Structure 1
């Protein structure tokens, strides 16, 4: 029985590279965004609210990142029927809103990225740019 195991983790440099790439994509599409990167336990490693992004979207971006990290899947994987109830039950910490993706590298779940302030498609596009910066599985 193993009492200790080795695991991969996202570094601060990786989180910063993701933020830079996500901001670059948001600027490219002309939509200021809130971007949050969390580790596998849901702790924020990096976050930014771009100038012009909706300040309340920072809260939804964090919920998206934590949800993706918790379930190891995109936030829209949460069934539509339970989204309102799960949001209420978790005080808004779990969401089915579009824009949250897991950070998976070589099959290892390292955390989540959450993006908010644009349309769902824009949020996801910006999140995917963040993942691509570190070679995460898309």
Structure 2
């Protein structure tokens, strides 16, 4: 039987704190979501001034990164590259850059999704959260 790491609330809090610090250092009003490996939400934080829609998008970006086992930037690049049929994939709706998987020993144990600024900046914030582990 295989075993793998799982996110506890301690790690989730550390991820949120690091992502929040990155966003606040740049004065970016974003939403930050953390999900488990099945895409189930573990935490969501919308910073002061964040647009309500960003909360939904952040969760979907995180879910897409967890379920697809890759950064959501890859989905966006696929679609922008002309493979528009990829938009019909069931379950995935956060196919914009800003979702980053959390890997431990080569296994995805969750993901971070951020929404609220330009896509590459969302990814920067998400990666800051992941790096906190």
Shift of residue 5 of structure 1?
Answer: 3.0
Structure 1: distance between partners of 2:115 and 2:36: 18
Query: Structure 1: any 5+ residue segments left out of the alignment?
Result: none
- What's the offset of the Cα at 1:36? 0.3
Which residues of 2 match residues 64-75 of structure 1 at below 5 A? 64-75=61-72
Q: Using the TM superposition, give the Cα deviation of residue 95 of structure 1 relative to its aligned residue in structure 2, in angstroms.
A: 2.4
1:22 has 2:9 as partner: no
Q: Which residue of 1 aligns with 2:5?
A: 8
| Number of corresponding residues | 127
Superposition TM-score, scaled by structure 2 size: 0.89
Kindly state the Cα deviation for residue 85 of structure 1 after the two structures are TM-superposed: 2.7
State how far apart, in whole Å, the 2-side matches of 1:54 and 1:96 are.
19
The answer to whether the aligner puts 1:32 opposite 2:35 as a matched pair is: no
Could you tell me which runs of 5 or more consecutive residues in structure 2 were left unpaired when the two chains were aligned: none
Query: Is 1:51 equivalent to 2:86 in the alignment?
Result: no
CA distance in 1, matches of 2:40, 2:88: 23
> What TM-score do you get using the length of structure 1 for normalisation?
0.86
Give the aligned CA root-mean-square deviation in angstroms: 1.3
Secondary structure at the aligned position of 2:52 is classed as coil
Structure 1 stretches (4+) deviating beyond 3 angstroms?
Answer: none
